[in-house]
Structure formats: C-alpha cells, structure tokens
Structure 1
Amino acid sequence: MALGVGVAVLAMILLLATCGGGDGRDEDRGERPKRPEQAASGPSTRLTVPAAYDTARGWEVPDASPDHALATRSGLLAYLERAADGRFRLRTLHTRTGRPGWSGEPFTALAGPEHFPRLLSVTRDDRQFFVVWSYGKTGRDSPTPSGPLVSLDVYDTADGSRKRVEVPWTGAPTVSGTGPGILIGDGGARSAVVDPGSGEVSVVPPKELRPPKDCASCRQLTAVHGLTAKGLLVRGAREFWVRDGWFSGDVAPGGADRANGVPVSLDSGRLLVRWQKAKGTREAATRDLWAVHDAASGKPLVTAECRKPAIEPGTYPQAVLSPGLRYLVAGNLAFDLQERTGRCFEEPDGTRPLTLTTVTDAGLAYGATDTRRPAEALAGAGAPHVVDLAAGVPEPLTPGVRLPAAEVSGVGVFHWTDTRDRLHLIGYVRKDRPGTAP
C-alpha cells in the first residue's frame, strides 16, 4: 500500500492473543474461535425464487444481523448475533454445505447493545478478512468515557483469529473494505487506512493529498473516494487522481471529456467512472459514457453509454462483481471484463431501466424494473428479470420472485424478513449442482 512519505501513524493497536482458553471476555484479549458442534439442516423457509435454485436444498439462518459478509474465495459467510449481557458474536458458515464454520468470542460494541455493529469483508493480497466495526466512546457508563474512536475487530477468514484496532476519530465515520485495506473517512478529505494483516494505521493529512498541478477542479470539493493498490483515490469537482499515481485526465477513454469524470464505485481493483462525452461529439448533451478502469493503473477496460438522467441522482449505483471478477453490474449497467463488452439496460428514451442487483460467475444477472435502488429489488419490489449477459436480452421472471443477493459456491443467498421483523439469510443450492442437500 503506497501511501508515501509523511504518513503519520496514530492508532492504538491492540493485537489480541490467539491462544486458546478463556472466559469469553473481549476487553483484554482475543482467542482462536470455537469449532461448531453440529451441521446445519436444510432451509425451513421456501421462498419463490428463480427456477435455477432448489428450495429443498440449502440452509437457513433465522435471525441474522442487518449486515452479512462473504469471503468469495473460501465461500464463507459471516453474520452477527446477539450474545448475553448486551454483547455480540460473529458467526460463520460454509455456503456450499451450510455447515457452521468458526465463531468468535462475544464482544461489546461501542455504540451500545441497542444497535448491531457494522460488518464488511476486505481482501489484501491472498488473504481475506471479516471486519466488525463500531463508533463511539469506551466506558460509556463511566463518569469519564474516553474517545471517540472507531473500533475494528479484524478476523482472518482462514482460522477466525482476531486482532482489535482502535482509531481515534471525531465525527461520523464511513468505513469500507472495497480496496486492499480498511478505509475510514468522513466523506471529505480526512482519512485513515488500516492494514488488515498487521493492524498498522496510516493517515494522510488533507494537505498531503497532492492534486495534480494543472488541475484546478481537483482543489474544489476534494474528497477521498477509495483505496487502490497504488494509494488513495481522491476526487475533486470534476476530475480525480490517485495520490502519487495516475490522473484522470491522462486515462480518459476515447470519446470522453477528459476534464469531466466522476468516480462512482470502486471494488476489487475495478473502478466505475461516469464520464461526460467530449464536447461537440454526437449526443454529448443526451448521453453519458460509463467506463470500468483498472484501479491500479487507471487504464480503461470497457465502456458503455446510457442516456443522461432527467434529474441528477442523489447517489450513484454501486458496483457488484461476480465471485470470479469477470462480470460487473451497477444499476442498469453490465460489463463482461473478459470479452470487453458493456451494456446499458433501458428503453431507447432512457425509461424503465433495469436495476441489476447480482451477477453470477455464469454471467447471469438478476434485477428488476420499476425500482430505483438494488435494495428495493432485493426486497421484492418491481418486476423481476434475469439476463444472460452473453445474449444481452432481459427475460421477465414470475411476479413476486425473490432475487438472490449473491451467489457463491453454487448457492444463491436470499434475504427474507418474517412477521416478527427478523431477517433470515437463506441459501438455496443451484439445481445444476450435483449432490444431496446439506
């Protein structure tokens, strides 16, 4: 992670011991997680899902946290549950079989027992990690609480070993794991990067973000947008750059206005950018040019065009990659990064866009029309569709079909909330996958 010279290290890093034994307290040490005692049974909830999935084969988590995370290489899924005394515990299961994996020791969240901590996954080099984080002050019930800070419990997905990292932080934080490290930000120019392997924390002060000399708009509305293998990705009003790396004006795809691009979403080394079309070109006033770039070099990999929205959206679509990283979908956009093809699924006049939620390694993308956000489509809103990205023709599904939130290890992962407002995570095995129900 090349963050350059002048980087300050400010965090209190508590490397929790990984030896066995203990009473479950998390305040002073960590432990190797306990192994499961029994295997999972098949799912008791049978949703209406796409025909590719077998609702009689799979698994179910009946009371899961709002967040869950996937380690796509190992097929491990992580979720949080409430433990005794207002604490929480991280549990895992193997998506292929439904069998429980390792589980962590109970811990106390800074935000208190009322709210679940947040959960995400991050990949650095060949290692994957689950990260549980919360924000607040330590000793909330004492006369002199300390903080505020961001507390992160970082679990190695290989064995569940844990380290805790505490980063002093003022103001509401954003925390993401879409790059090769854990990025803490404030939506502006402040940031901190945590190495999930070592726990080392690095900070680049706003004055050291180093915008390109000839980029006036880079000094307007400056904000840290993400983390690449080469360093921080930073945006200005209309242009963007990687600190001590590449500049958007040097990597714009053909047909784009080199001085007018917005980085939209970064994940697993792929950066989605919305570009204005070059001035004076055909349809520059009515269409946008979307491109997927290699985040390390800035090189554009593939492009697609969509009609400009009548009203600028408050948020842009977030990129979702297939587990094997060949396909990328975001909103009504879909890209095959191997074949270098891109599509925009909408009517010629820009109406009835297909909001895509999920894409599989087989190139099947799921989504719905008549919805504004992927979360609405996953909750059952809109008209569900599936599209084979090789053919590029959306096919309607039966009304009311639930869409998978992800597919990994030949299992579709679905969300369902019951009448008691409990979230269920349900895995249904693909019908074309041989074997008996787990």
Structure 2
Amino acid sequence: MGQRIVRLALVGGVLVLALLLLLAMCAGGADGGGDDGAPERPRKRSAGPATRLNVPREYTTGRGWEVVGAGPDYAVSHPTGRLGYLVRTPDGRYRLRTLDAETGRAGWHGEALTSADPERFPKLITVAKDDRQFFVTWSLGRTGDALTPAKGFVSLDVYDVEDGGHRHVEVPWTGVPAVTATGPGVLITDGSAAGTVVDPVDGGVSAIGASAARYPEDCPACEQLTEVRGQTAKGLLLSGSREFWVRGGWFSRRSAPPGADPRSGIPTSVVPGLVLARWQPAAGTRQAATHQIWTVHDTVSGKPVVSVRCHRPAMEPGTHPQAVLSPSARYLVAGNLAFDLTGGKAFCFEDEGGAARLTFASVTDGGSAYGATDARDADEALRGGTGPVSMSFPSWDVEALPPNTRLPDMETAGTGVFRWTDRKDRLHLIGYPRTG
C-alpha cells in the first residue's frame, strides 16, 4: 500500500511538473518573451489581437496580429509582404525582427547589436536594388575622448529582406545627417550639394562632392542654395533656389507642366520613382497671382505624370507635406493633395476661400486614403488628430469617421498596420486585415 501511495505521488508530481512547464511555454508565447525581454513573435490568436482599436470599417479587429514593446520605427517590403521592427535587449542593445504582414508569422531575426547612439533606437528604412529588397537600420555615433577630438560617423546595418543576410557599414560624417532611400542606394545628405551613397548589395561607399553637381546651362538659380534632394535610377536629384535636375540627366525647365512658368519648379517631396514639385502659373495667366500648380514627375524621364492647381497659401509654410505612395504606386497623397497616377487625375481638397480642408496620412492600393480635418501634418493625424476622414479615389468623396477612429499607418498584403501606445508607454504594432 505504501509503495502504491509513493508511486501515485511520483506520478502526480510528474504531472504537476509537466503542467507547470506547459504553462510556462504558453506564457512565453503569449507575451512574446525571449532573450530580448521584448516580443519575440507577434501575438496571434483565433480571437484576434488583444488590443481592439476603433478603426475604419474596412478592417476587422477580430483577426490579425499584435507586437508589444517595439521600437518607434518599422519598415515594410511590399513585394515580399515582410515587416521589420526593432526590439530592445536586456543589455541595452537592439535586434531587428521580422514577420509576415498577412499572417503574423514570425520570420528571421538579426543578432543583437549595439547602436551607435545607445540612448535611442536606430532609424529603420527600406531600400531596393536589382530586384532585391533590404532593411536598413542607421544611427549617428561619435568617437573620441577628453584627449581626442570627437569624430562623427553614420552606422548602418543592411539586411537582405529574404534571408536576413547582414552587412555593417560606417560612414564618417560631420553634422546632422538625413538618410533616405528613394533610389537604388542609401543616400546620406546634410542639406547641401554634397552627399554619400551606400550600395546595399556590396556595401560600397561613394562620396559626392559639391563640385560634382553638374549644373544645367543658363541656370543661375540652380547654383543658389543647391541641395541634393534624393536619388533616382538615373542619378542624384538636385535643386537650387528654383529649378531642379538629375545630375547628367533631365532638367525641370524642359519638363514643366502645361501652363507653368518653366523656371519656377521647386521639388517638395521625393519617393521611389517619383518627385512632387510645386510650380507657379505662367505670368499673365488668370491664376498667376492666386494659385500654384502641383505636379508629380517621373524621376527617370522628368516628365509630368499628373497635375492639380491649388490656391496659394496666405503664408509660405515652413515645411511642405511629404508624399505618401500606395504599395503599387498607383495613388499618391501629400497634405490636402491626392493623385491617381494611373488614371491621370488629381484633386486639391480646399474650401472656397482656398484653405486646406484636410491632411492625408496614408493611402491603400484599393483607393482609400485616410487623414484628418484638424491636423497640422500626417503624423498628428495618425496619432489621433481630430476630425478623422476617409476618401475614396474612384468617387473623390470624403467621409467623416467617428471622432475616436484610429487611422492605418499603411496597408500591405491586405493588412492595415496600426500603432498605439499604452499606459506603460509601450508601442503596439497591430495588424488588422481588410475585410473586403
């Protein structure tokens, strides 16, 4: 009898231990725990993400995925449907993790690395070259001590989107850099005519001096306030106080939209393959003193794709709205401007007095644009600016959404990506699928 009791006790102990191990494993999966002390994989449950935001009715909160505790930036490779995000490790380093934006399944992850600026997460962008996609993290660091003058450098880590293949590159840099990827390389600039391009395939670094601007002939304005604005498949895009050009390629004066003063073009925003520019109507025309022409140009040829006219603002804005492109590059929005690039149509949303009616923040391949009527910029609209709206490109109709509606940052692979910060100041990345 005593032996039987002992055997039963042993069996019961084994069962309890197994149950405890099972609960620990389940807890780790639900919290996404790992060696990072942060989400190793997104939350994906049959009942949907734990966080249920108020979102446009085109999305369902009953399915999808959720990442808790991610860094402030994320990046998406639309051709692959893969999303990259950063997490902090317990020892203060960072790690790049990926997931499938449609299913929420965890993908590859990079090794834990030290940021050149330990106080901040690196920035995260995407770049494409030779039909290959790359995630790129970058941060600004400094070397030196009390006896050695400090030297700045931009630290970049380049990851192949498909398999996570990694390359580290450091570029000496003085000042505050702007790092963009509008062409087949990573461009580092500082608001001048000089810059550096990093090749994501082989890590090659090419410095571009101000003397290599290659100014167009008979363009004194090009030599004033000269600035590298972006990279294109045909070379660097530069601008002066007026007019812009691709080094060794096309010149805006020969690519002005109909009715514009050909010497007035100013690029305001660059996205892969396209540049949004502002033009003045030709002198002596009816709207010369009251309107501006906004045109999307192809960066390979410089040719206008589509234009729209808006009232000239009473005061020149300090910054221009940044263009946002749909994944397939059919639609583009910027501030209160909306362009159907395939249909060749555009609309400026303003009231009869010429005041901007709304600010767009995101646009989908299905032709839905989201924004707010009372937001200073796209970031404010996404953070929950008052007066959220949606606009349908097929009809150009604007619909007011409930005041507490959270807008999608973007959409890829049929999934809207939303950001939300909880009371513990943790950022949640949430994927809700589109219903129709």
**TM-score range relative to shorter protein:** 0.7 to 0.9
Deviations 1:387-437 (A, max 9, x none): 1111111111111101100011111111111112221111111122xxxxx
Match of 1:87 among 93, 108, 111: 93
Deviation, structure 1 residue 315: 0.9
Does the alignment pair 1:149 with 2:153?
yes
Aligned residue runs from structure 1 range 316-327, under 5 A:
316-327=320-331
Deviation, structure 1 residue 284: 1.1
Does the alignment pair 1:47 with 2:53?
yes
Gaps of 5+ in 1: 1-35, 433-438
Partner of 1:173: 177
In structure 2, relative to structure 1, the CA distance for the partners of 1:37 and 1:397 (3 Å cut) is: closer
Distance 1:108 1:428 in 2: 32
Alignment-mate amino acid for residue 57 of structure 1:
R
Secondary structure of the structure 2 residue equivalent to 1:54: coil
Partner of 2:127: 122
Deviations 1:49-96 (A, max 9, x none): 000111111111111111111111111111111113221101111110
- The range that moved more, 183-192 or 343-352, is 343-352
Distance 2:435 2:199 in 1: 40
Match of 1:406 among 394, 410, 423: 410
Distance 2:327 2:94 in 1: 28
Partner of 1:386: 390
Q: Which protein is richer in helix relative to its size?
A: 2
TM superposition outliers: structure 1 runs of 4+ over 4 Å: 36-39, 140-146
Partner of 1:333: 337
Secondary structure of the structure 2 residue equivalent to 1:79: strand
Deviation, structure 1 residue 182: 0.4
Does the alignment pair 1:251 with 2:288?
no
Does the alignment pair 1:423 with 2:427?
yes
Partner of 2:21: none
Deviations 1:241-271 (A, max 9, x none): 1111111101001111101111011112011
Distance 2:57 2:145 in 1: 52
Deviation, structure 1 residue 144: 5.7
- The range that moved more, 297-306 or 118-127, is 118-127
- Conservation of the 8 A alpha-carbon contact between 2:244 and 2:251: yes
Secondary structure of the structure 1 residue equivalent to 2:261: strand
Gaps of 5+ in 2: 1-39
Give the structure with higher Rg (CA).
Answer: 2
Does the alignment pair 1:274 with 2:278?
yes
Distance 1:309 1:98 in 2: 44
Secondary structure of the structure 2 residue equivalent to 1:86: coil
- The range that moved more, 349-358 or 59-68, is 349-358
State the TM-score, normalizing by the size of structure 2. Answer: 0.88
State the TM-score, normalizing by the size of structure 1. Answer: 0.87
RMSD: 1.6
Deviations 1:312-340 (A, max 9, x none): 11111111111111111111111111111
Partner of 2:306: 302
- Conservation of the 8 A alpha-carbon contact between 1:128 and 1:157: yes
Match of 1:164 among 159, 163, 168: 168
Report % sequence identity.
55
Aligned residue runs from structure 1 range 111-260, under 5 A:
111-112=117-118, 114-138=119-143, 147-260=151-264
Deviation, structure 1 residue 289: 0.3
Secondary structure of the structure 2 residue equivalent to 1:260: coil
Q: Which has the higher contact order (CA 8 A, sep 6+)?
A: 1
Distance 2:235 2:41 in 1: 43
